[in-house]
Amino acid sequence: MQKDSKIYIAGHRGLVGSAIVNNLKSKGYSNLVYRTSSELDLRDPQAVAGFFEAEKPEYVILAAAKVGGIVANNTYRADFIYENLMIQNNVIHQAYMAGVQKLLFLGSTCIYPKACPHPMKEEYLLTDVLEYTNEPYAIAKIAGIKMCESYNLQYGTNFISVMPTNLYGPNDNFDLEKSHVLPALIRKMHLGKALEQNNWDSLRADLNKLPIEGVDGNEAEDAILSVLGNYGIRSSAPLGGNQEGDSVHVEIWGTGKPMREFLWSEDMADACVFIMENRDFNDVTPSTVDGERPEVRNTHINIGTGEDISIYDLAHLVKKTVGFNGEIYFNEEKPDGTMKKLTDVSKLKALGWEYTVALEKGVEKIYNWYL
């Protein structure tokens, strides 16, 4: 890519997309193109075709997607498979039609089987059944990988797929109805801390910034306590009687035993830009033998740290970072999801990239950003 190459970033306001925009700008790329969802509905084939015809981007980074945590994935199953398939199909196909030089498609490590060996290697894709709760989303992302591979093989395009592990960072989603585990823990502990300190100014400011189920900071105390209780943030003190040190507990779904890997979003962005600058589809495909190429499969690239942590230990790390002194209660009647999700990042390392932000530092950084 040249510094003045026209680069379209789909999903530029999201967790990953915004980090990629910042990374590109920091490296001197000056011809960046993006649209908000209200300006361009990526689910609309005609709208996407019109955009590519008008803008003619040379490079595309497809970071737009409908995403959410275990509750959202399991509840809105039709939305997750339909919207993600439509977004991918439209952008990837129009990138081919417009003669885009290179496209980067972002997926997720939830593409791997529920009972996948660990660490998860790219070759384990489609070797067993998926985790049920996020099966529709995972199937959409697998389809995106196969679409990129298929267009490359049939049309000679240069479309690359990357599968990031759990991401966190600036512009994360802290909506407790839809957020992933780490931002949800950050916000729950922050609200729990405010509740145990009887700090209603902090509670109201938080809810005014991001209401929960329509409840903002202008509601009565009992309404606020009620909606906090819906998300497992509860005090034993009588209404309005909280004093610092009162018993407050934060409920977390599951046993706390599942292991998860987390990557700072700005590291993820750096990996994406590195691949766009330095690597091509041919770098992740088998070499030809006697003039014939073997079957091309599993060309996607895992992006992660190769290190994981239990939800139990993560919760206590967040608790310490936030300064919450209450109790953490693991509700074992709620689902755990996949018990382990650790990526094998040997392919990524062989391509020349490694992460830099350790989890302890990252949690501190994201809580400061949240504040």
Residues with catalytic annotation? 137
Question: Tokens 């439509």 label which residue?
Answer: 86
Cβ atoms 159, 105 nearer than 8 A: yes
Cβ atoms 114, 339 nearer than 8 A: no
φ, ψ for residue 171 (rounded to 5)? 70, 20
Instruction: Tell me whether residue 237 is exposed, middle or buried, using C-beta atoms within 10 angstroms of its C-beta: 0 to 12, 13 to 18, 19 or more.
Output: middle
Q: How far apart are CA 314 and CA 303, in angstroms?
A: 20
- CA dist 162 to 258, 262, 272, 319, Å? 24, 15, 8, 32
**What b/e readout covers 49-72, taking b as 16+ CB neighbours within 10 angstroms?**
eebbeeeebbbbbbbbbbbbbbbb
Name the β-bridge partners of 329: 251
CA atoms within 13 A on the CB side of 23: 24
Q: How many residues does the chain have?
A: 371
- Non-local CB neighbours of 223 within 8 Å, separated by 6+ positions: 215
Q: Nearest-CA neighbor of 57 among 123, 102, 108?
A: 102
Name the β-bridge partners of 140: none
Q: How far apart are CA 159 and CA 95, in angstroms?
A: 9
Largest Cα separation within the chain, whole Å, is 79
φ, ψ for residue 26 (rounded to 5)? -65, -25
Q: Nearest-CA neighbor of 275 among 288, 285, 284?
A: 284
Cβ atoms 272, 161 nearer than 8 A: no
